[in-house]
Amino acid sequence: MDALPRAVAALANHYAPGHHITPHTHRHAQLLYATSGVMRVGTADGAWVVPPLRAVWLPAGVEHEVIVRGALTMRSVLVTGPAAATMPATARVIEVSPLLRALILAAIEDPLDGPQSPRQAHVSALLLDEIAAAGQHRLYLPMPRDIRLRRLCEGLLDRPEDAAGLDDWADRAGASTRTLARLFRAETGLSFTAWRQQARLIEAVARLAEGEPVERLAPSLGYRSPSAFTAMFRRVLGQPPTKYVGTAG
């Protein structure tokens, strides 16, 4: 939707498992929220996994793609004009509070044709306040610009369980191990090992939200035991997987 009839509009969409929304841009900013299902959203600078009770904010003009994990029910809040200028200037994943979720669902009920009612105008104004005030989440993976490194990182996102070391990836990329190690630091701020751990964490969050048990998930992502995986998860996200899924599902 290129032209919006008002400053804030909301749409509902449903996507089948495996659906890929190819890279594109919008003239308006948008908040992508899944009431059910998990999506992976990617931009030139980063990748996010977005389970329920999280949403991704995308400023106007940011090229992005969406990869659907399982059946996805998406709610999109579109923001344009002066309202968009007061919103976050960078893409990010935010926490969706019960109030923000209720406001998103209320905005969906507002038909786009015809004038906006006073009630819906209040809903829109409060919705913008809640998006701006929402806490930012750590489910973020910085993506490099270098073509060789980008190809490597996209491969790890698709196969985070791949145990190949940096030497193996260097052979595949046609670059030296030293060059790849330097590029990782320069373009992502992380070492290869730290980047891969974050990629595995993102994959773990997606699978947990889809109902996969820790006992099966942990060894498939290279952890020696469920307890080792749980310790890592708690250290990075501040809570164990079972509690995280309970708040995200």
Q: Where are the domains of the chain?
A: 8-133, 144-248
16, 68 Cβ separation under 8 angstroms: yes
Which CATH homologous superfamily contains domain 144-248?
Homeodomain-like (1.10.10.60)
35 vs 55: CA distance, rounded Å: 10
96 vs 183: CA distance, rounded Å: 34
Taking CB atoms within 8 Å and a gap of at least 24, the contacts of 171-177 are 173/148, 173/149, 174/148, 175/148
- Domain 8-133 in CATH 2.60.120.810? The answer is yes
144-248 has the same fold as 8-133: no
Q: What is the pLDDT along the chain (249 residues), one digit of tens a residue?
A: 556 678 899 999 999 998 999 999 999 999 999 988 889 899 988 988 888 888 999 999 999 999 998 889 999 999 988 888 889 899 999 989 999 999 999 999 888 777 888 999 999 999 999 999 998 877 788 999 888 888 888 888 888 888 888 888 888 877 888 988 998 899 999 999 899 888 888 888 888 888 889 999 998 888 889 999 999 888 888 888 877 655 443
Can you say whether the dihedral through the CA atoms of 84, 89, 90, 94 is positive or negative?
negative
3-state SS, residue 179: helix
Q: pTM of this prediction?
A: 0.81
Give me the pLDDT at residue 3, please: 64
